Each structure stands twice: as C-alpha cells, then as structure tokens.
C-alpha cells in the first residue's frame, strides 16, 4: 500500500480550496432561501429554476464590478486585507478531518491535509489570526466607520477566543488529546460529547457564532450602526473574499462542532460515517441561518458583558467541575 | 526539503522584521511584525514542536499583536510617522551591541562540547504532554510564580480601568450624560 506523498497533500489542498469556495458560494444561495422561507417570502426566484443560477449571476456581478480603492487609503494594506481573511479561513480547514480514511486506486488516503497532533489548537490559532483581515481592512481605508469596525473586531475576537478556548478545554481534558482524530475515536466508544458536556457545547456554539461574525453577534458590520464596518469601502471581488472567508469559517466551526460534540464521522445506526458527518455539518450550518432569522443584534456593550461576565466564568466553572469529576 | 523550508522561512522572517524596524508607516510595521510571528511558528513546526508553534500563533499573533493593534488605532495610520533621531550613532551602537550579545549568548552552548539535555523528552509522550511534564515538575515554581504575577497584573488592570465602571453611558439619556460631565 502506498503512502501519501507531497503530491497527495497538494491535491488535497487544491480540493479543499475548490470545494469550500464552491460551498461558500452555494451557501449564500442557501442562506437567502432559508431566510426567505422563514420570513414567508420566496427569495431569489428569477435566475434559473428556483433561482438556482443566482450564484452565477452574483459571481458575474462581483467579478465585473469596479475594484474601488479610496484615495487616502493605504493601498497595499487595503488590497491585502481580504486575502488574509480568505487565506486564514482555508488554512484552518487544512487541519480538520472531515471524512473517514479511505482507499482509492490502492492508495491509502487519510482524509486530512495536515495531520498535526494538536489539530484543535491549530484550527483555533488560525481562526484567531483571521482577525487581521477585518482589522487591517478597517484601519487602512481612512474611513471612520471602518476604524470603528476594526476596533470592534479586535475587541470581539480577543474576548471570544477566550471563551472558545476555555469551553473546549473541558472536552480536551476528557479525551486527553488535542488531535481531532482522537476526538472522533473517543466518540466511537463513548456517548456523544454533547451529552456529557452540554454547557461546553452551548458555550462553544455562542463563541463560534461570535468568531464567525454571525447574527446576533455581527457587530463588525452592523448596517444599522456603522454602515458596513470594516467592509464599508470594499466592492467587487475584494468584498467577495471577505464573504468567502466568513462562510469558510462557518463551515470550520460546523465541522469542529460535529467532530468534537456530535460524534464526528463514526457510523450512526445504518448511516455510514461520511454521510452522517455531512448531515451534522449541514445541520450546524442550518442552525446558524435559523438563529439569524430568529434573533436581533445585540448591543456592543451587552456583547462584551456577555463574554466576560457570563460566558467566561461559566466556562471556568465547567472546567473546574470536569477536573473534579475526572479526579474522583 | 527541510533545509529549503528553513532558509525560506529565515529569509522571509528577517525581511519582514526589517520592514517592521525600517518602515515609517504604522500599518506596514504592525502587519509585517504579525506576519513574521506567523512565520516563526513555521520554524517551530519544522522542528517538530507543533505545540510551541501553535502557542506562538495563538499568543503572539492572536493576542499580543491584536493588543498592539488596539494601541495603533490612536494613530492616523494613513500618514507616515516622523521619528526623531537625535543621536543616530548611539542607537546604532546600542542596537548593534544588543544584537551581538544575543548572538554570542545563543551561540555559546553550540560551541561547547559537553552540552547535553538535562531533561530529555520522555519516550512516547506527545508534544503537549512533554511540555506539561517539564512544566509541572522541574519548572513548577517559576510557573506558579508567573501565574501569580499575571493575577496581580490582571487585578491591577481591572482597578485602573474600573473607575466609574458602574456608570454606563449607553444606559443614560442626554441630560444625565451632561450632568456627569459637569460633576467630573
């Protein structure tokens, strides 16, 4: 049986890029449709059957739109910032296993691009680095809404990284490993982590929504208050790249939640593992849209209050209790 | 493959940090510093120290640099910063002296023949476990002292920032805000 080579890793990297970009594009369509049905509308209907070709129309629009750079902006940083968002989102996905290992043409293929044995930390670290996209975008565009957006970015990401890390600490203590593959194996012999660590799951979900900049925590670009925040001056494909990055991050959080808390790609009754995890990821993605349709924005001060006075103490208490239970 | 990766990272890191020092633009300096920090984690990955690499990412890129960025928001980042150099030779001398001293300090053990690891990695332990073993045996006391120091710094920070914390401007109407301004 052949081992995977550098070529295999490159192929996997290209596959991740292609598939996730496509899903991100399709995600915008799904999002509009789901929101529309929840609000008793039809959503996009004109382009193609059921508006399915809306993605193509949006793509043409984004690619052909003028790439506008404000006169007083720092041009280099303004152009680089969206790439940072997209790149960090994709790099984070490289350490996430999605499917069970499989064999194709007699070649054994582990379904993970970079099998680092601290996968969970790598993903969190890369998502943390993603804060530079909105931050540099906001600071470089010489626009006061941009700078407010950038300030909110820094505050939001730093605060909620703490909650994400602490909420995942309890499951990490139970599994005793930082490898996402070990998390998946743990789920084969134990009940799903969500039943043993419900508090950690809820905390991770809330922090995940904040880190992916989803409603009710999309304060970085809250139209009602700060126009579009860091994205105010962006147009065309550079704006599109921010969106692809956001959707890729949504998928990353969905995959993380599925693997850590919802049993990962282990077989489920009669459902094979690869299908089970797709269903779980799809459900998590749907949950994000569902929440967006159901909840209003929070105020920035409520948001910070929630992070530091409710979620963080809860996460710490959860970690302490888990530690005591493990010791006894 | 590994020497190639090392030289690539080394050249990029040196270049980026040179930009940090030389550039007069705050944004360029900050971004290149952050990018250099990311690439330093690459060096850790080459050495097989995955855990330290990720810690480098989370601590320096995710936290320390983000706090720098907060401070940089007080500048007009679209304009160049004018630095004053009264005695350039002094800066050169001190900077060069520190650099040479650091190189000598770090190169000295490599020159020595009798260097051996006091705490060799435990066989079979994964990366985080190896770090934890050393941290909670040999270095337990420094570790605890550092944590107490951080606690003190945190409490001090809260006290410094926490004056008038019970007053929330967003929960008051215009008249009340005007009142508090008069009293202050």
CB atoms within 10 A of CB A157: 25
Tokens 């968002």 correspond to what residue?
A85
Closest Cα in chain B, distance from residue A324 (Å): 19
A116 inside 8 A of chain B by CB: yes
Chain B positions touching A150 (Cβ under 8 A) are 69, 73
A interface test, pick of B19, B29, B31, B47 with most A CB neighbours within 10 Å: B31
Domain boundaries, chain B: 139-184
Inter-residue contact A176 to A121 (CB < 8 Å): no
Q: What are A204-259's pLDDT values in tens digits?
A: 999 888 888 887 887 777 767 777 778 888 888 888 888 888 888 888 888 888 88
Question: What pairs with residue A41 in β-bridges?
Answer: none
In this prediction the ipTM stands at 0.78
Surface-to-core class of residue B162, CB atoms within 10 Å of its CB (0-12 exposed, 13-18 middle, 19+ buried): exposed
For chain B, positions 161-180, list CB contacts with chain A under 8 A.
Answer: 168, 170
B69 inside 8 A of chain A by CB: yes
Q: Indicate whether A148 pLDDT > 70.
A: yes
| Residues sharing a CB contact under 8 Å with residue A50, sequence separation 6 or more, in sequence order | A33
Inter-residue contact A47 to A103 (CB < 8 Å): no
A87 inside 8 A of chain B by CB: no
From A229, A3, A240, A246, select the one nearest A101 (Cα to Cα): A3
For chain B, positions 31-50, list CB contacts with chain A under 8 A.
Answer: 31, 34, 38, 41, 45, 50
Chain A positions touching B63 (Cβ under 8 A) are 128, 158, 161
| Structural Rg of chain B based on CA atoms | 23
- The mean per-residue pLDDT over the stretch A80-91 comes to 87
* Dist CA A214 CA A8 (whole Å): 34
- Reported as half-sphere exposure (CB side, CA atoms, 13 A), residue B39 has a value of 19
| Residues sharing a CB contact under 8 Å with residue B60, sequence separation 6 or more, in sequence order | B37, B40
Q: What are A163-208's pLDDT values in tens digits?
A: 888 898 888 888 888 888 888 888 778 788 788 888 889 999 998 8
| Residues sharing a CB contact under 8 Å with residue A29, sequence separation 6 or more, in sequence order | A44, A51, A52, A54, A55
Q: Indicate whether A3 pLDDT > 50.
A: yes
Q: Spell out a b/e string for B22-36, using b for 16 or more CB atoms within 10 Å of the CB, else e.
A: ebebbbbbbbbbbbb
Q: What are A110-143's pLDDT values in tens digits?
A: 667 666 778 888 888 888 888 888 888 888 887 8
Which positions of chain B have pLDDT values less than 70?
A: 112-115, 165, 169-170, 180-184
Q: Degrees (nearest 5) of the Cα angle A302, A304, A306? A: 65
CB spacing of B127 vs A158 below 8 angstroms: no
* Dist CA A287 CA A269 (whole Å): 23
Closest Cα in chain B, distance from residue A103 (Å): 27
CB spacing of B170 vs A299 below 8 angstroms: yes
Taking the C-alpha atoms of B27, B29, B30 and B34 in order, what is their torsion angle to the nearest 10 degrees? 130
CB spacing of B66 vs A131 below 8 angstroms: yes
* Dist CA A114 CA A90 (whole Å): 12
Question: What pairs with residue A102 in β-bridges?
Answer: A109
Across chain A, what does the average pLDDT equal? Answer: 82
**φ, ψ for residue A271, nearest 5 deg:** -85, 125
CB spacing of A122 vs B54 below 8 angstroms: yes
- Give me the percent of chain A exceeding a pLDDT of 90: 4
Which residue is closest to B80 within chain A, CA to CA? A74
* Dist CA A161 CA A155 (whole Å): 10
CB spacing of A139 vs B77 below 8 angstroms: yes
Inter-residue contact A213 to A220 (CB < 8 Å): yes
Grade residue A104 by pLDDT with cuts at 50, 70 and 90: low
> In the prediction, which pLDDT does A108 show?
64
> In the prediction, which pLDDT does A302 show?
83
A95 inside 8 A of chain B by CB: no
pTM: 0.82
* Dist CA A183 CA A17 (whole Å): 25
> In the prediction, which pLDDT does A299 show?
81
The CA-atom distances, in angstroms, between B80 and each of A79, A136, B184 are 19, 16, 36
CA A38, distance to chain mean position in Å, is 23
Q: What are A57-84's pLDDT values in tens digits?
A: 888 888 888 888 888 878 888 888 888 8
> In the prediction, which pLDDT does A1 show?
40
Q: Phi-psi region for residue A23, left (φ > 0), alpha (ψ -120 to 50) or beta?
A: alpha
* Dist CA A222 CA A230 (whole Å): 10
Inter-residue contact A160 to A310 (CB < 8 Å): no
CB spacing of A136 vs B27 below 8 angstroms: yes
């Amino acid at each position: 049986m052949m081992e995977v080579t550098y070529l295999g890793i490159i192929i996997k990297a290209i596959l991740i890029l292609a598939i996730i970009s496509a899903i991100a594009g399709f995600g915008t369509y799904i999002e509009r449709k789901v929101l529309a049905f929840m609000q008793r509308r039809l959503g996009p209907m004109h382009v193609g059957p059921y508006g399915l070709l809306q993605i193509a129309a949006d793509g043409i629009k984004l690619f052909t739109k003028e790439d506008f750079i404000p006169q007083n902006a720092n041009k280099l940083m303004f152009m680089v910032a969206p790439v940072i968002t997209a790149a960090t989102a994709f790099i984070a996905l490289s350490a996430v296993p999605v499917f069970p290992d499989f064999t194709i043409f007699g070649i054994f293929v582990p379904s993970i691009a970079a099998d680092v044995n601290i996968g969970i930390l790598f993903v969190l670290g890369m998502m943390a680095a993603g804060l530079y996209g909105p931050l540099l975008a906001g600071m470089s565009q010489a626009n006061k809404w941009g700078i407010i957006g950038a300030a909110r970015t820094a505050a939001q990401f730093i605060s909620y990284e703490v909650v994400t890390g602490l909420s995942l600490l309890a499951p990490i203590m139970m599994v005793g490993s930082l490898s996402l593959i070990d998390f998946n194996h743990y789920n084969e012999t134990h009940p799903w982590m969500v039943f043993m660590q419900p508090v950690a799951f809820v905390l991770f979900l809330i922090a995940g929504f904040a880190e992916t900049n989803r409603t009710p925590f999309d304060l970085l670009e809250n139209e009602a208050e700060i126009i579009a925040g860091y994205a105010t001056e962006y147009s065309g494909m550079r704006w599109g790249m921010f969106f692809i990055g956001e959707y890729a991050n949504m998928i990353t959080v969905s995959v993380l939640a599925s693997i850590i808390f919802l049993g990962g790609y282990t077989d489920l009754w009669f459902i094979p593992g690869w299908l089970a995890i797709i269903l779980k990821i799809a459900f998590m993605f749907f949950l994000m849209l569902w929440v967006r349709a159901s909840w209003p924005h929070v105020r920035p001060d409520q948001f910070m209050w929630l992070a530091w006075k409710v979620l963080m103490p809860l996460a710490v208490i959860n970690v302490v209790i888990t530690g005591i239970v493990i010791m006894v | 493959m590994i020497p190639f990766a090392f030289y690539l990272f080394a050249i990029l890191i040196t270049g980026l940090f040179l930009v940090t020092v030389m550039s007069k633009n705050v944004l360029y300096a900050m971004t290149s510093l952050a990018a250099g920090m990311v690439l330093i984690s690459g060096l850790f990955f080459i050495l097989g120290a995955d855990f330290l690499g990720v810690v480098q990412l989370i601590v320096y890129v995710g936290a320390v640099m983000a706090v720098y960025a907060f401070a940089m928001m007080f500048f007009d980042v679209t304009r160049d910063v004018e630095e004053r150099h009264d005695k350039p030779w002094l800066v050169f001398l001190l900077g060069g002296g520190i650099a040479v001293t650091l190189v000598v300090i770090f190169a000295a053990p490599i020159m020595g023949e009798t260097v051996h690891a006091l705490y060799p990695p435990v066989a079979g332990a994964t990366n985080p476990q190896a770090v934890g073993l050393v941290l909670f045996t040999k270095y337990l006391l420094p570790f605890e002292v550092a944590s107490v120091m951080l606690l003190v710094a945190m409490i001090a920070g809260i006290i410094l920032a926490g004056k008038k914390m019970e007053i929330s401007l967003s929960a008051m109407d215009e008249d009340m805000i005007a009142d508090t301004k008069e009293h202050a």
